Amino acid sequence: MQESQIDWTYLVMAAPFLAAFVAPLLKRLLGSGASWILAAAPAAMFVYFLGLIAPIASGSVIANGFAWAPSLQINFSYRLDGLSLLFALLVSGIGTFILIYAGAYLKGHAHQGRFFSFILLFMGAMQGLVLADDFMTLFVFWELTSITSFLLIGFDHTREAARRAALQALVITAGGGLCLLAGLLIMTGLVGVHSMSEAIALGSSFAENPYYLPVLILLLGGAFTKSAQFPFHSWLANAMEAPTPVSAYLHSATMVKAGVYLLLRVHPFMGETVLWTTILPLFGGATLLAGTLLALRQTDLKLILAYTTVASLGLLVMLTGTSNETAILGALVYLLAHSLFKGGLFMMAGSVDHEAGTRDLRELGGLGLKMPVTFLSGLVLAWAMGGLFVTLGFFAKEAMYEGLLHGEGTTPVTLGVAVFGNGLMFAAAFAVGLLPFIGKRPENLSGAHEGPIGLWIGPLVLACLSVAGIVFAAFTQEALIGPTLAAVAGAKPNPDLSYAIHVNEAFAASGVTWAIGILALLALRPVRRGLAAILDAIGWGPDRGFDQLVNGLTTGSAAVTRFIQNGDLERYLSITFTVLALVLVVPLLVFGEWPHAPETFALAPHEWAVMGLAAVGLVAVIVAENRLTAIVSLGIQGFAVALIYMLFGAPDLSFTQFMVETLSVVILALVMTRLSLMTADRRNYFQRAKDGTIALACGIGTAALLIAVTNQPFDSRLSDFFAEHSRTIAHGRNIVNVIIVDFRGLDTLGEIAVVMITGLAILALLRFPAPWRQTRAVEEEK
Residue 397's alpha-carbon distances to 330, 338, 340, 762, in angstroms, are 6, 11, 15, 75
Report the Cα 477 to chain-centroid distance in Å. 33
Name residue 517's amino acid: G
138 vs 490, more confident: 138
Give the pLDDT confidence score for residue 1 in this predicted structure. Answer: 39
Residue percentage of the chain with pLDDT more than 90: 57
More confident: 502 or 779: 502
pLDDT at 769 over 70: no
Query: pTM higher than 0.85, yes or no?
Result: no
**Measured CA distances, 43 to 81, 460, 577, 579, 726 (Å):** 20, 17, 61, 59, 54
Higher pLDDT, 746 or 183: 183
Average pLDDT over residues 6-27: 90
State mean pLDDT over 367-390: 94
Which of the four pLDDT bands, split at 50, 70 and 90, describes residue 513?
A: very high
Q: Which of the residue ranges 64-68, 645-649, 700-704 would you say has the lowest mean pLDDT?
A: 645-649
Residue 779 has pLDDT above 80, yes or no: no
CB atoms closer than 10 angstroms to residue 48: 17
What's the first-to-final CA gap in the chain, in angstroms?
91
The residue among 723 and 198 whose pLDDT is bigger is 198
Mean pLDDT of 355-376: 91
* Averaged pLDDT for residues 169-186: 95
Asked whether residue 7 carries a pLDDT value surpassing 90, the answer given is: no
Number of CB atoms found within 10 A of residue 697's CB = 17
Whether residue 539 has pLDDT greater than 90: no
pLDDT confidence band for 4 (50 / 70 / 90): very low
Average pLDDT, the chain: 88
- What is the number of other CB atoms lying within 10 angstroms of the CB of residue 579? 10
Helices (H), 565-684: 569-590, 605-623, 627-647, 651-674
Bridge partners, 132 (sequence order): 78
pLDDT, average across residues 210-227: 95
Band of pLDDT at residue 656, cut at 50, 70 and 90: confident
Nearest to 336 by CA among 290, 399, 286: 399
Angle at 222 between CA 217 and CA 225, to 5 degrees: 115
Say how far apart CA 464 and CA 378 lie, in whole Å: 11
Instruction: Indicate the DSSP class of residue 369.
Output: T
Spatial neighbors of 780 by CB under 8 A, at least 6 apart, are none
16 upstream amide cis, omega within 30 of 0:
no
Q: For 15, how many CA atoms within 13 A lie in the half-sphere containing its CB?
A: 21
Q: Indicate if the pLDDT at residue 490 is higher than 90.
A: no
Residue 628 has pLDDT above 80, yes or no: no
Arithmetic mean of pLDDT, 200-228: 93
For residue 81, pLDDT over 50 is answered with yes
Residue 667 pLDDT: 76
Q: State how far the Cα of 353 lies from the Cα of 304, in Å rounded to an integer.
A: 14
- CA nearest to 41, candidates 14, 19, 13, 8: 19
Residue 99 has pLDDT above 60, yes or no: yes
- Assess contact for 251 and 306: CB atoms under 8 A: yes
Residue ranges of alpha helices (H) inside 154-188 are: 160-186
pLDDT at residue 608, rounded to an integer: 83
pLDDT score at 3: 45
